[in-house]
Chains A and B, each alone.
Chain A
Amino acid sequence: MPKRSDIQSVLVIGSGPIVIGQAAEFDYSGTQACRVLKAEGLRVILVNSNPATIMTDPEIADATYVEPITPEFVEKIIAKERPDALLPTLGGQTALNTAISMHDNGVLEKYGVELIGANVEAINKGEDRDLFKGVVEAVKEKIGYGESARSVICHSMDDVIAGVDTLGGYPVVVRPSFTMGGAGSGFAHDEEELRRIAGQGLTLSPTTEVLLEESILGWKEYELELMRDRNDNVVVVCSIENFDPMGVHTGDSITVAPAMTLTDREYQRLRDVGIAIIREVGVDTGGCNIQFAIDPTDGRVIVIEMNPRVSRSSALASKATGFPIAKIAAKLAVGYTLDEIPNDITEKTPASFEPTLDYVVVKAPRFAFEKFPSADSTLTTTMKSVGEAMAIGRNFTEALQKALRSLEKKGSQFAFTGPVGDKAELLAEAVRPTDGRINTVMQAIRAGATQEEVFDATKIDPWFVDQLFLIKEIADELASAERLDADLIAEAKRHGFSDAQIGEIRGLREDVVREVRHALGIRPVYKTVDTCAAEFAAKTPYFYSSYDEESEVATRTKPAVIILGSGPNRIGQGIEFDYSCVHASFALSDAGYETVMVNCNPETVSTDYDTSDRLYFEPLTLEDVLEIVHAESLAGPIAGVIVQLGGQTPLGLSQALKDNGVPVVGTSPEAIHAAEDRGAFGRVLAEAGLPAPKHGTATTFAEAKAIADEIGYPVLVRPSYVLGGRGMEIVYDETRLASYISESTEISPTRPVLVDRFLDDAIEIDVDALYDGHELYLGGVMEHIEEAGIHSGDSACALPPITLGGFDIKRLRASTEGIAKGVGVLGLINIQFALSGDILYVLEANPRASRTVPFTSKATAVPLAKAAARISLGATIAELREEGLLPKTGDGGTLPLDAPISVKEAVMPWSRFRDIHGRGVDTVLGPEMRSTGEVMGIDSVFGTAYAKSQAGAYGPLPTKGRAFISVANRDKRSMIFPARELVAHGFELMATSGTAEVLKRNGINAIVVRKQSEGPGPNGEKTIVQHIHDGEVDLIVNTPYGTGGRLDGYDIRTAAVARSVPCLTTVQALAAAVQGIDALNHGDVGVRSLQEHAEHLTAARD
């Protein structure tokens, strides 16, 4: 069946900001889909509030709306664009929920927009627990197997408590309906836990509905990815088996593809059930994901859930198999059938087949508990990981060890040296699933645990347990062998041991092991991911390494540029860096290079085999990169390796790569050192005559104290060489300084702690710039909304800067140029400045693509990362201006007066974390970055742009209602004017006594409410926290009091998160919000596509 002829334009909804449970995989899926639809000749209209995505690049869609993904804004877009169809299945839960709202409120019908990909009935059947249970029952009726866990649907706490008995008692699982990433779900072992989890679940569920379920904790867990076309052809793209048994969210589990421990009979049964489900649910065209649990003792199969859309797992399955699910889903949605779509990889065979793997894929989650020290680190059915790494090997052990080292986290790899712990203790510890449980299990094995003991403690399948024993046995051989001979090294490499691990076991340096290995001629080969286990010749060079016999890397004649990606997403190093890498690949391909991407993050666009000429799905360690460079150098000429776009991960390899003779292009390792090393950078600043806040470096408390005494408290302390402000803290007194130093494990003579004067009340400014050795191109100047001291990644900012004048820009330009020149930058540099008392201080410089590059690029309609990649390979800014990649004249510092204002807002993961008592974690911003993603609001004036950024990040700002204000003493002055504005807009104010008194004295009336610490009043007067929980507060302003009022503020802020009430924690944010509320109350807020903005901007530039 060919393409439908009745659809000319399609609206695609993206997934918005990166949050836990909904990350870069939807950029990957959405980008694929938009490209396919555009190639089919359809007009593609896209809405996504996340600027750090490839899909929102203006060339991917015909009309790109970086606007909030709310029914209100999407309706405006529909009214303006009048699309024929809406494709909601590629933007995660956000897109699906938005589409359902638009259907329910009649907007789709009003504008005659057809939902394609999945109809409303199918979405509801898949998502609604009760309806889905009916689906599973119907399937059992038809094919004789498949069942749901015993369960009850509850709409109130009374239902919940009563439900436990019908399930046969505790433990029970609580699953809220219509939430993403399993938000709000968990195991309850008693009534107290049940009340807490179910209470939150009822709140989180948009339909106030939770499902209570029998416990299938410890069962084997599987997933199938399926696709169906309009002819009812169904294929199973991939099976995935979870290493961690049931009880851990699949996003937090180590997962393995294909399934490792199923016989054909059992696998086919899952397949039959899966196919019957996709039919019964009625997913007409597209993909779905179905999860199963299997009782390891008798094989009883339970269907857990299905997602009637493209998901995180489908992105993983696409990368694991080479079968591009999103791309094919988009084609199916516009009418093609599977047999009409060619398999990209073989080109000759159709997509109506099931990929078969001759390798093993392991995905491992990356967590960020260190950022949330009070959060409970137990893994549950609520997803908590912030990223993932995937690795491919020819066997499980190789893939597993590669995945663990891809995580790039201290302690993520198996360690076989060091003291052997206590077996019983380790086994007891392994019972609780946590980040790194697999390492605990390995230590238990080292301590003498048997396979049975490990299984009893963890319920990890005995086959997997045996594989861990196999790894440990190889480690023992390495340790006990008289010498490292070729057989032994080859064997260790076949099971994934890194040179570093072998070195650690043998007491040798990593480079010595490597030398020995190379001398013995042991090197990896590179095999192809080809969907068909070599049955047909593959056209797509998608490689992974293995210590096997035959390599499949073809020779080439064009010079290659190897781009090192950024590895697993983590807080501080996310999708923004992938964006820059992808841009480099596009730009260099256009410039005639063969592009070679190296990365291990399955969520990303960079690891789409379509993005670069060659893809190496490999860990980003020195060893793995050196081997790729070696393999590619045998294949043809190498023009260079780019390390400055993938964040700190590749940047950290820069010097070592150069030392090994690898041609690193762009900013040199020495220049990187000049920017990152305190002393060297100080000299750069001194030469350029630029001030930095007073500072010093210390390796002991005594040294730190001496520095702090000299420059005065508060001081900003942090370890050197970190990204995302890891471990950074504002220290107000000596006591805290002492505890900071003693708690910090990262401090050593080579890694000192940096102590800086903290600039109170300064305006923080971020600059992204390009430098080619002669000329500076100021990419953009961003003014932070929050004052200095809040990590730039967590701070909202505006571009162009809203309060800086021409003189300031001139100073910024001169300083930036001085630093870029002094450091020796060739490409991108990001500098953070603080403007305090009219002095422009330099806080830090990063000689690489920054987190803000995508934002700056979109706000100014200039592709900075593409330009940076070109500069790295020798192009000059003048040439790029001539070519049209950069504007002919002017730059981001000379934007026309009527240029749109873009506001970036950070999105925080607070609602994901609870402490061990089940309370939320505090939401106060600080110098350590904790946001997972960002949104952009763009409009002609700041107020509207800010309002859009808030709507995109947290939901719309309220335009009326009740505002609660409680601020720290230092903020009381600056609160008065915005408070007055709120009253003028018709808000009723509530305040605690102290704040109310200040307001009253300034002629502003506020209702006095009780603090949480005061408890309810004698006549039952509620505390502020109770008011919030009862839904009586529409806006919260709460700035932290330092130490004194912390507890009260903590309760207020966590209540705000639980009830999703906008909560502003700085007065600057309040002032901005007031401008936003003002904009919302004055007339209609419009929508405008990036293409329209760019056209306007280009016209104004000329």
Chain B
Amino acid sequence: MTLSTRGAQTPAVLVLEDGRAFRGRAYGAVGETFGEAVFSTGMTGYQETLTDPSYHRQVVVMTAPHVGNTGVNDEDPESGRIWVSGYVVRDPARKPSNWRSQRSLDEELAAQGVVGISGVDTRALTRHLRERGAMRVGIFSGEAIPDEGTLLAKVRQAPEMTGADLSAEVATKEAYVVPAIGTKKFTVAAVDLGIKGMTPHRMAERGIEVHVLPATATLEEVYAVRPDGVFFSNGPGDPSTADHPVALMRGVLERSTPLFGICFGNQILGRALGFGTYKLKYGHRGINQPVQDRTTGKVEVTAHNHGFAVDAPLDKVSDTEFGRAEVSHVCLNDQVVEGLQLLDRPAFSVQYHPEAAAGPHDAAYLFDRFVSLMEGQRA
């Protein structure tokens, strides 16, 4: 026998809360893990996905079959660690190949204790989640795996995503500063609800000094940095639980400080304006989503990672406590609200990821829009 994909491999099984199971082989760490099963359709950017804090407590199924081909480097992660609670792939690379690669993904997952599974029919699993919706899942690997009934019971004991308040778990505990690149033009207070590394970087590129603050920051702490603008980041969990960030944002809106939100930040703006949020059946997770900017009619191909969305009317301008608000961006696949803007105050947000990483750079103009708001406020 040779050292091929067979042989010494450890068996693994993935069990969904509705009882469907997929058998495969252990990938990364051996053991057991639980989370919400979601699928991501991006064909590139697994390092960014794994380290995106918004994936906290989620088991990510990769629809692209080959994962790990370019190995792991130290430049591309979006945060200091892998956040996904489990990883499901079909064909993991045996040998990474890239001039920037420093080690293999398998090693990295194992080193960070992330339990994964390989060799499963990820397309069948994706179709299942598409039809039944995102649900709880467990991955179990090892030489002696208990019977599926026992496993299923464990999966059903795991906490659900609906109602989960997770941003504090992933956000920084201490404030830190990302300096502007080149001449500093503005100061922004960025509330970290699970921020990705690329976001402050995109701001820094535009001459913004970014003060990243913990999710628990108070209004006083925000204004203590004398911000020209305030930013609310992406992050995991159910927005309906995010009462503190909503209250904080309302304070910012009252002061009419330029405000920009991404992803979770968009949902918080929605709530601050009095709109509801709801859980999507299986979410948007990928880097090919068509979003129309309703102010220009142009379509941008964008990176998404959201399981919840804002419930705001598409067909009219809404009157809110903070003046008129409208849906600025919409996903053309399913008409989900992808952006909000206030017409009477300098505030806007998008549900998707203009910082990309992973994903196309089509929406990078939104950071320029934020800059314009801050410039407008100064003038």
Instruction: List the interface of chain A (C-beta within 8 A of B).
Output: 231-233, 235-236, 258-265, 267-268, 271-272, 296-299, 337-339, 348-350, 352-360, 394-396, 451, 461-463, 466, 470, 473-474, 476-477, 480, 487-488, 491, 527, 532-537, 548-550, 552
User: Is B64 part of the binding interface, using a Cβ–Cβ cutoff of 8 Å?
Assistant: yes
B121 touches A549 (CB 8 A): yes
Give the interface SS of chain A, mostly helix, strand, loop or mixed: loop
What are 30 of the A-B contact pairs (CB < 8 Å)? A236-B360, A259-B44, A260-B69, A263-B73, A263-B76, A263-B98, A263-B100, A264-B42, A264-B45, A264-B48, A265-B75, A352-B290, A352-B301, A353-B333, A354-B301, A356-B42, A356-B63, A357-B64, A358-B41, A394-B91, A396-B66, A463-B69, A463-B97, A474-B4, A477-B1, A477-B4, A488-B6, A491-B5, A534-B63, A549-B22
Q: Name B69's contact: one of A235, A261, A354 (CB within 8 Å).
A: A261
CA distance A527 to B63 in the complex (A): 13
Q: Name A356's contact: one of B22, B43, B130, B334 (CB within 8 Å).
A: B43
Give the residues in chain B near A534, CB-CB below 8 Å: 39, 63, 123, 126-127, 130
Q: Name A360's contact: one of B48, B65, B297, B359 (CB within 8 Å).
A: B65
User: Is B94 part of the binding interface, using a Cβ–Cβ cutoff of 8 Å?
Assistant: yes
User: In chain B between 102 and 154, which residues have their CB closer than 8 angstroms to a CB of chain A?
Assistant: 120-124, 126-127, 130
User: Is B298 part of the binding interface, using a Cβ–Cβ cutoff of 8 Å?
Assistant: yes
CB-CB nearest in chain B for A535: B41
Q: Report the minimal beta-carbon distance from B261 to chain A, rounded to whole angstroms.
A: 23
With A357-B64, A360-B65 known, 5 other A-B pairs at CB within 8 A are A231-B298, A260-B69, A348-B333, A352-B290, A466-B97
Q: Name A461's contact: one of B65, B90, B97 (CB within 8 Å).
A: B97
User: In chain B between 65 and 84, which residues have their CB closer than 8 angstroms to a CB of chain A?
Assistant: 65-66, 69-70, 73, 75-76
Query: Interface centre among A232, A261, A466, by most B CB within 10 Å?
Result: A261
The verdict on A265 contacting B76 (CB below 8 Å), with A358-B64, A466-B95, A480-B1 known, is yes
User: Is B175 part of the binding interface, using a Cβ–Cβ cutoff of 8 Å?
Assistant: no
Give the residues in chain B near A268, CB-CB below 8 Å: 44, 356, 358-361
A533 touches B64 (CB 8 A): yes
A262 touches B70 (CB 8 A): yes
A355 touches B288 (CB 8 A): yes
Q: Report the minimal beta-carbon distance from A332 to chain B, rounded to whole angstroms.
A: 13
B288 touches A356 (CB 8 A): yes
CB-CB nearest in chain A for B6: A491
B6 touches A296 (CB 8 A): no
Query: Interface centre among B99, B130, B292, B358, by most A CB within 10 Å?
Result: B99
Give the residues in chain A near B288, CB-CB below 8 Å: 353-356, 532
CA distance A548 to B63 in the complex (A): 14
Give the residues in chain B near A463, CB-CB below 8 Å: 69, 93, 95-97
A477 touches B95 (CB 8 A): no
A357 touches B299 (CB 8 A): no
CA distance A326 to B81 in the complex (A): 44
CA distance A454 to B292 in the complex (A): 48
User: In chain B between 1 and 58, which residues have their CB closer than 8 angstroms to a CB of chain A?
Assistant: 1-6, 22, 39, 41-45, 47-48
CA distance A534 to B2 in the complex (A): 35
Give the residues in chain A near B123, CB-CB below 8 Å: 358, 394, 527, 533-534, 548, 550
A470 touches B126 (CB 8 A): no
Query: Interface centre among A337, A394, A474, by most B CB within 10 Å?
Result: A394
A349 touches B99 (CB 8 A): no
A473 touches B4 (CB 8 A): yes
Q: Report the minimal beta-carbon distance from A486 to chain B, rounded to whole angstroms.
A: 12
Give the residues in chain B near A271, CB-CB below 8 Å: 360-361
B70 touches A470 (CB 8 A): no
B126 touches A533 (CB 8 A): yes
Give the residues in chain B near A476, CB-CB below 8 Å: 2, 4
Query: Interface centre among B44, B63, B95, B130, by most A CB within 10 Å?
Result: B44
Give the residues in chain B near A357, CB-CB below 8 Å: 43, 64
B41 touches A533 (CB 8 A): yes
A264 touches B44 (CB 8 A): yes
CB-CB nearest in chain B for A271: B360
Interface mask (B316-328 → A, CB under 8 Å = 1, otherwise 0): 0000000000000
Q: Report the minimal beta-carbon distance from B119 to chain A, rounded to whole angstroms.
A: 8
Give the residues in chain A near B358, CB-CB below 8 Å: 264, 268
User: Is B286 part of the binding interface, using a Cβ–Cβ cutoff of 8 Å?
Assistant: yes
CA distance A263 to B292 in the complex (A): 27
B98 touches A261 (CB 8 A): yes
Give the residues in chain B near A259, CB-CB below 8 Å: 44
User: Is B332 part of the binding interface, using a Cβ–Cβ cutoff of 8 Å?
Assistant: yes
User: In chain B between 270 and 302, which residues have their CB closer than 8 angstroms to a CB of chain A?
Assistant: 286-290, 292, 297-299, 301
B298 touches A232 (CB 8 A): yes
Which 7 pairs from chain A and chain B are nearest by CB?
A264-B45, A550-B124, A264-B358, A533-B63, A549-B121, A463-B97, A473-B4
CA distance A550 to B120 in the complex (A): 11
CA distance A184 to B98 in the complex (A): 34
Give the residues in chain A near B269, CB-CB below 8 Å: none
Q: Report the minimal beta-carbon distance from B24 to chain A, rounded to whole angstroms.
A: 10
CA distance A287 to B122 in the complex (A): 32
Give the residues in chain A near B120, CB-CB below 8 Å: 549
Q: Name A358's contact: one of B122, B297, B334 (CB within 8 Å).
A: B122
A470 touches B5 (CB 8 A): yes
Give the residues in chain A near B2, CB-CB below 8 Å: 473, 476-477
CA distance A258 to B67 in the complex (A): 12
CA distance A359 to B358 in the complex (A): 20
User: Is B357 part of the binding interface, using a Cβ–Cβ cutoff of 8 Å?
Assistant: yes
Give the residues in chain B near A461, CB-CB below 8 Å: 97
Give the residues in chain B near A473, CB-CB below 8 Å: 2-4
Give the residues in chain B near A267, CB-CB below 8 Å: 44
B333 touches A349 (CB 8 A): yes
Interface mask (B341-379 → A, CB under 8 Å = 1, otherwise 0): 000000000000000111111000000000000000000
Give the residues in chain A near B299, CB-CB below 8 Å: 231, 233, 337-339, 350, 352
Q: Report the minimal beta-carbon distance from B245 to chain A, rounded to whole angstroms.
A: 29
Give the residues in chain B near A537, CB-CB below 8 Å: 130
Query: Interface centre among A258, A348, A533, A552, by most B CB within 10 Å?
Result: A533
Give the residues in chain A near B22, CB-CB below 8 Å: 549
A299 touches B333 (CB 8 A): no
Give the residues in chain A near B356, CB-CB below 8 Å: 268
B124 touches A339 (CB 8 A): no
B99 touches A298 (CB 8 A): yes
Q: Name A353's contact: one of B47, B289, B297 (CB within 8 Å).
A: B289
Give the residues in chain A near B94, CB-CB below 8 Å: 466, 470
